[in-house]
Each structure stands twice: as structure tokens, then as C-alpha cells.
Amino acid sequence: MKRTVIVLGLLGLAAAAYSWAPGLLDASESGPGIPADGLFAARRGTLVVTLTENGTLMAKESRPVNSELRGSTKILYLIEEGQQVEEGEVVCRLDSTKQEDDLEQREMDMLQAQADLETAQTNLEIQEVDNLAAIEKASNQREKAVKELERYQEGDAPKARRALLVAISEAETNQNRAKRKHTDSQTLLEQEFITSLEAEDDEIAWRRSEVQLESARKDLTLFEKYTLPMTVKEREVAVSDGEREVETATKRATNSIRQREVAVQQHQSRLDKLDKQKQELTEDIAKMELRAPSPGIVIYGDPQQMWRSSEIRVGEEIWGSTTIITIPDLRVMQVKLRVHEADISKVNVGLVAKVSMDTYPGLVLDGTVTKIAGIATGDNRWDRNPEVRKFDVEVTLESEGLELELRPGVSAKAEVFIEQKDDVLHVPIQCVFLEEGRHLAYVVNGGGQPHAVEVTPGISNENWLEISAGLHAGDQVLLYNPKLAGSGDDDEQRAEPGGGGGADSSDDAAGESGSPTPGTGGDGAATVG
């Protein structure tokens, strides 16, 4: 860990005097009418450009602590703000009464849902058995109808037809026999071998046999025309009815099974939903005890919403999304600066810095610029038209191995090293003036009168300006504008450190009146070797 102890007092004053003394001339070296402290001898050396800004010390990373619960609850216990905690330490407890009551109700609901599910599963099993029986019964009826049709077509019908044919054959035989007997009876009657009564009996028998023959033939006709086709049709209809009954039983079984399955799915879904709610409530109850995710100190609420920190107290009702505690990770600290928009172009990620804090006298820490905001904001976030626009700049500190514990929120000052040039010719910034668009310096050589020399300025800080061309080491340069000498405008002829708009300001920046070229803007600081 790099630390630098700043020695204040006489040592600082002596160093400041030494930085100016070599360039000033005594009265014997100055020209006539030129004060001894009005000249500076241009010299070569190291020119360092820095930017000094005030900021706030804070942790680079902060871990929010919230309940992550669903809904709202009350704070039962809260660790004291500002207390140092270790990772895993309990920092807050929330009221879990409602969640515990809900959990008990869910468990009771699950018992009922489980019973309903088992009933639905049993009904499904019963329905499957009933469906098999119904389909089997319908199939048997269909098979019976098919067999009865086959039996009639292949057995009963042919048998009945043969019986009718036999009856016709017998009737024909009887009719022929009765006819012959009747004929014989007539002959015998004529010969008076038989009586007329016996002849009449034979005739009646003959007439009866003819009727019987006609009846037998009629029976065959009726059988073939009506009985056979009607009976076949009845048997075929019975077969069709059996097939439809099988199809209906199958569809009815499918539909009833689907209904039973849906009932099972509904009860299973309800049980799963209740189980999920039970798990969520169990998790919520476990989340009622909040622990520190990392070591650090306790800060109530969200540092970005400090106006809400007053809501964080025991007994207060909070929502799951509310940040109850923020724990800055003090292992890596940073300083947050607010850099003026005129100076932000000089700052780049990776620049080194020196950081000091009044809270820790004598301590100087090394740091690095790690982040520059992409958008400028006003000092007042509620002002929509701020006149001053600044960028947030983060400087990460090298605090590894530091025994001293840094606390966020303290004021800090960061000196960012922008640029350094070695062995450059430089003069105080009040030696160069902007006149008619040209940068001029007034040089006095050999005790003569001052004369204007056009110079090319380079880098600068609030005190010193690099001269890239126009002067040489040892040239005696006026520290004021001789055109304004004796005019009483001493306050205007010497530039204030850090004032103005830079060496390349326009003629409107008082350049026509011979004002000196200003240095960098903002709170810049300089070091010259």
C-alpha cells in the first residue's frame, strides 16, 4: 500500500518560494522603469498538469438486502445502523405470522385436495372396468346377431324351404292318388260296385288334396317372397344395431374416460398448485431472517433513495421489493467526483490519482480513474435547466493491506494526474496575452524596452504555460501587459489562477484588451519540477 504523508507548514512555504525564486530578477537586472518582481526568466523543466476535485468516499460495490418476499410484512428486528457486520450475520427479522397462517391453511387444503385426487383416480379405474364390460356386452350382442343371421341364411331358411318343397311334393302325391281314386270310384259307381256315398267321399278327398296342394305351393311362394327376405332383413338389422351399439359403447367409454381423466388432472393440478404455494410460503418464512451477504457496515435503505431511509424502522410495514439495508463492501473503496464539463475532456479512464481525506489526516492513497459518466447532470437533480453541468467520475483506491478502516460518506479530495512533460520551456501563465488573435509575450533583453514576441502555447495548468515556440530559455519576460501599465487595471492585467477559457480562447475573451492567457478551468492544481 502506497501512502504519502503531506508535510505542512514551513516546509511547504519554502518549497513554494523555491519554485519561483530562480526565475525572478533583482533590481539591477531589470530594465529602466520595470519593477524587480515584474520579470521572469523563461526556463526549462518538468510541467505537470493535474485536476483536483472534491468528492465523497464510498464503497465500489454495495450489496442490497431485501426480503424478496411476496407481499408486505412488518420489521420485527433491525440491527443498529453503522454497525460492522460479517458475512452471514443476521441483520433483520420480519414478521412471518401471516405466512405461517397461510402455510397452515395450505397444508389443510392439500389434505382435502389429496383425498379428492384419490377419489377421482378410483372413479377413473371403475370407469375403465365399466367401459370394458359395456364394450364387451355390445360386442357379444353384435356377434350373436351375426351368428343368428348366418344360422338363418345357411340353416333355418334352407331347411324351411326344403320342408315347404316336401309338403308340396306330398300334396302333389296325395292329389294324384285322390284323383285316381276318384276316377276309379266313378267307374265302380257306374258298375254299381260301390255306393254313391262312397263315391262322394272319394270326390271330397280329391277336392281336399287339390286344396292342400295349392296351399303348399302358396306357402312356398309366401316363404320366398316375404318370410325369407323379411327374416334376413331383421337379422341384418340386428347385426347393424349390434355394430352401432359397439361403436356407441366405445365412444361412450372414451368420453367417460376423458371426463374422469380431466377430473384427475384438475385435482392433480390443484394439489400441485397448493404444493407450490406451500413451498413458496416455506421459502418466504425462511427469508424472514435476513443475513449480510458480505462484510461491511449497515446503512438503512438505499443510498440512491436516502429520503426513504426514514421508513426503515422496527414496526414499519414494507414490501418485498424494498431495500431494507445496504451493506457497502469496504474491501474496495472509491471516491466519486463531480468534474466540470469544461475539464471532463482531460480525464480518461486509467489516469492515476492521489486521494486525501480530512477525516484521516496525513493519509494519501493511490487511485485510478475507473469510470466516467456518459451524461452530464446538474448539481441539483431536480433542476431541469441547471447552469452548471458536471460529470460523475469514479476513482478506485488501492487500499489493499490498509489497516485503517475507511468509512463511506466522508469527504475526500482527489488530485488526478492529467499529463506530464519533461524538459519543456515554460513561463507563468500571466506572461502570455491574447491580442488580435495572436498569443504574445513581452520580452526584455539587455536592459532595453520590452517588445512583443508571438509565441505558441502548449499545455498549461493554473500557474504555468508551456511555450512551444517563440521564446528561449533565459529570456526575460514581463509578468504583466506593459500596455496596461499605469492604467490602474492591475486586477485585470494579471490572470487569476484557473480563470478564463484556455490558451486558445476567442478574441471575445478580453484578448483585444491585452488580458493574459488563462490556464485550465475548474479546481486544477499544478506542479512544476
Structural domains in the chain, CATH included, are: 10-60+332-528 (2.40.30.170), 63-89+294-327 (no CATH), 100-285 (1.10.287.950)
Residue whose cell numbers read 412471518: 96
| Predicted local distance difference test score (pLDDT) of residue 206 | 86
Helical packing angle, 157-190 and 228-286, nearest 10° = 160
Which range, of 122-136, 168-182, 294-308, averages the lowest pLDDT? 294-308
Sequence length of the chain is: 529
For residue 486, count other CB atoms closer than 10 A to its CB: 9
**Cα–Cα distance measured from residue 403 to residue 423, given in angstroms and rounded to the nearest whole number:** 39
| Predicted local distance difference test score (pLDDT) of residue 510 | 31
| Predicted local distance difference test score (pLDDT) of residue 388 | 77
Whether residue 304 has pLDDT greater than 90? no
User: Rounded to whole angstroms, what are the CA distances from 128 to 147, 258, 301?
Assistant: 28, 10, 62
Whether residue 7 has pLDDT greater than 70? no
Pick the residue with more confidence: 99 or 262?
262
> What would the pLDDT profile of 75-85 be if each residue is shown by its tens digit?
899 999 888 88
Pick the residue with more confidence: 306 or 471?
471
- pLDDT > 70: what percent of the chain? 82
Pick the residue with more confidence: 89 or 191?
89
Strand, helix or coil for residue 112: helix
- DSSP assignment letter at 226: I
Residue 94's beta-bridge partner residues?
Answer: 75
- DSSP assignment letter at 431: G
Cell for 295? Answer: 462484510
Strand, helix or coil for residue 142: helix
Task: Say if residue 282 is exposed, middle or buried (CB neighbours under 10 Å; 0-12, 13-18, 19+).
Answer: middle
Residue whose cell numbers read 479512464: 349
Exposure string of 35-51, with b = 16+ CB inside 10 Å and e = fewer, is: eeebbbebeebebbbbb
Whether residue 127 has pLDDT greater than 90? yes
Whether residue 341 has pLDDT greater than 60? yes
Phi, psi dihedrals of residue 443, rounded to the nearest 5°? -105, 135
Cell for 342? Answer: 469544461
> What would the pLDDT profile of 459-514 be if each residue is shown by its tens digit?
888 889 999 999 999 999 999 888 886 554 444 434 333 333 333 333 333 333 33
| Predicted local distance difference test score (pLDDT) of residue 21 | 42
Mean pLDDT of 273-278: 95
Answer whether 476's CB lies under 8 Å from 445's CB: yes
Q: Where are the beta strands (DSSP E) in 316-410?
A: 317-319, 325-328, 333-340, 352-357, 360-372, 377-378, 389-397
Cα 336 from chain centroid (whole Å): 28
| Predicted local distance difference test score (pLDDT) of residue 379 | 63
- DSSP assignment letter at 387: S
Whether residue 8 has pLDDT greater than 60? no
Residue whose cell numbers read 395450505: 106
Cell for 177? Answer: 292318388
Cell for 47? Answer: 510541467
> What would the pLDDT profile of 402-417 be if each residue is shown by its tens digit?
777 788 888 999 999 9
**Cα–Cα distance measured from residue 339 to residue 498, given in angstroms and rounded to the nearest whole number:** 14
> What would the pLDDT profile of 416-442 be if each residue is shown by its tens digit?
999 899 999 999 999 999 998 999 999
> What would the pLDDT profile of 471-480 be if each residue is shown by its tens digit?
999 999 999 8
> What would the pLDDT profile of 148-204 be if each residue is shown by its tens digit?
999 988 998 899 889 989 988 888 888 888 888 888 788 887 887 878 888 788 888
Cell for 83? Answer: 454497525
User: Rounded to whole angstroms, what are the CA distances from 303 to 63, 280, 337, 408?
Assistant: 11, 30, 16, 11
**Cα–Cα distance measured from residue 495 to residue 508, given in angstroms and rounded to the nearest whole number:** 16
**Cα–Cα distance measured from residue 129 to residue 134, given in angstroms and rounded to the nearest whole number:** 9
| Predicted local distance difference test score (pLDDT) of residue 522 | 40
